Amino acid sequence: MRVVLVEDLYLLREGLTHLLTAHGFEVVSAVETGPELLTAVQEHRPDVAIVDVRLPPTFTDEGLQAAHEARRRIPGLPVLVLSQHVEQLYARELLADGSGAIGYLLKDRVFNATQFVDALRRVAEGGTAMDPEVISKLVESNAHQEPLGTLTAREREVLELMAEGCSNAAVSHRLYISEGAVSKHIASVFGKLNLTNSNDTNRRVLAVLAYLNSANLD
């Protein structure tokens, strides 16, 4: 799998390159700034781009802007955004175009290499990987609103894991319940949220997040 990487910290850039190579990825380009990212993705057409939020020269949200621009130029380009902190606002913006293939993770998720690589693969395949911190905040700030308030604790857990991008099997593994129980919970969540016909992993997460999006911005 071919990866383009943009990260301004030398140590982290090198570390990520090693980590990815060790897990069988091919890092075709590792650059430092937003404009470089744009040329790199246009030149190499990678399977996934990993982007840091803060980049030189302004160290504001240049990486995020570059990611948006890259996806505008190459629609559906899978992008995994890494950040020192996670913000609902950014997560919503990233998900806004609805085409999936988006990840938004805290930088320290890299510590757990297998989970990180797993998330990266999911994004590259068109899935979604949201940081658990984003998800819990989303659910927390929407919890008082109907109909999310009607979800049972277990259903909410399942919903959170779904939003992180877990498949049914992964959810059943994480929650120590059978896959049948997971699909039953998911069906019940969809029922309560009025979501119909969403079998595919990527679309169901987007549907949930889009719903959460609309719920707080009435």
Partner 1 sequence: MFGRHLWAPLRGLVLFGLGLTAGPMLAAVGLGTLFGIQSLAQWYRDPLNVYRTLAGRWCGVDIPVPYQPPPPPPEPEPDGWYRYKNRLYLTPKKLSYERRWDWLVKDPATSRDILWMLINPVAGSVTALLPLTLVVVGATAPWYWPGHPGITVPVAAATALAGFGFGPVLLHLHGRWTCQLLASAADSGIRRALIRIGRGGLATWRLALTAGLAVTELAAALMHLLAMVPILLWAWPTVLVAGRQLTSWRRQQIQEWTGIRIDRPYLPEPVLPPPRPDGTYQIGRTLYRTPEMALRSLRYRQNARDLATWRDLLWLLLDPVVGVLLAAVPVLVTGYCFFGLIWSWAWASLLQLFVDFHTFESWPLLTRGVPVLGDYPIATAPLIGVVGTLTGSLLAIPLLRLHGLWSWLLLGPTKSALLGRRVDQLTETRMEARETLSSELRRIERDLHDGAQAQWVAMGMKLGAIEALIERDPAAAKTMVGTAREASAKALIELRHLIRGINPPVLAERGIADAIRGLALDSPLSVGLRIDLPGRPERPVESAAYFAVSELLTNVSKHAEAGRVHIDVRYTANQLRIALTDNGVGGADPAKGSGLRGVQRRLATFDGSLAVHSPLGGPTTVTLEIPCVLSS
Contacts (Cβ under 8 Å, ≥6 apart) of 137? 86, 88
At residue 43, what are phi and psi to the nearest 5 degrees? -80, -45
- Judged by CB under 8 A, which stretch of 15-23, 34-42, 142-150, 191-199 contacts partner 1? 142-150
Examine residue 18 and tell whether it contacts partner 1 (CB under 8 A). no
Task: HSE, CB side, 13 Å, CA atoms: give it for residue 135.
Answer: 22
- Judged by CB under 8 A, which stretch of 119-127, 141-149, 160-168, 177-185 contacts partner 1? 141-149
Please say whether the beta carbons of 160 and 132 come within 8 A. Answer: yes
- Of 93 and 125, nearer to partner 1 (C-beta) is 93
Paired tokens of 12: 């982290």
Please say whether the beta carbons of 19 and 120 come within 8 A. Answer: no
- Of 53 and 70, nearer to partner 1 (C-beta) is 53
- Of 120 and 138, nearer to partner 1 (C-beta) is 138
CB 172 → partner 1: shortest distance, Å? 24
Examine residue 140 and tell whether it contacts partner 1 (CB under 8 A). yes
CB 211 → partner 1: shortest distance, Å? 15
CB 58 → partner 1: shortest distance, Å? 9
Q: Tell which positions 33-62 bind partner 1, by CB under 8 A.
A: 53-54, 60-61
User: Comparing C-alpha atoms, which of 111, 203, 108, 196 is closest to residue 165?
Assistant: 203
User: Comparing C-alpha atoms, which of 85, 93, 22, 80 is closest to residue 46?
Assistant: 80
CB 130 → partner 1: shortest distance, Å? 14
Examine residue 75 and tell whether it contacts partner 1 (CB under 8 A). no
CB atoms within 10 A of CB 179: 14
User: In the chain, which ranges are E strands?
Assistant: 2-6, 26-31, 48-52, 79-83, 102-106, 128-130
Examine residue 88 and tell whether it contacts partner 1 (CB under 8 A). yes
Residues found near partner 1 in the complex (CB under 8 A): 53-54, 60-61, 84-85, 87-90, 92, 108, 111, 137, 140-141, 143-145, 216, 218
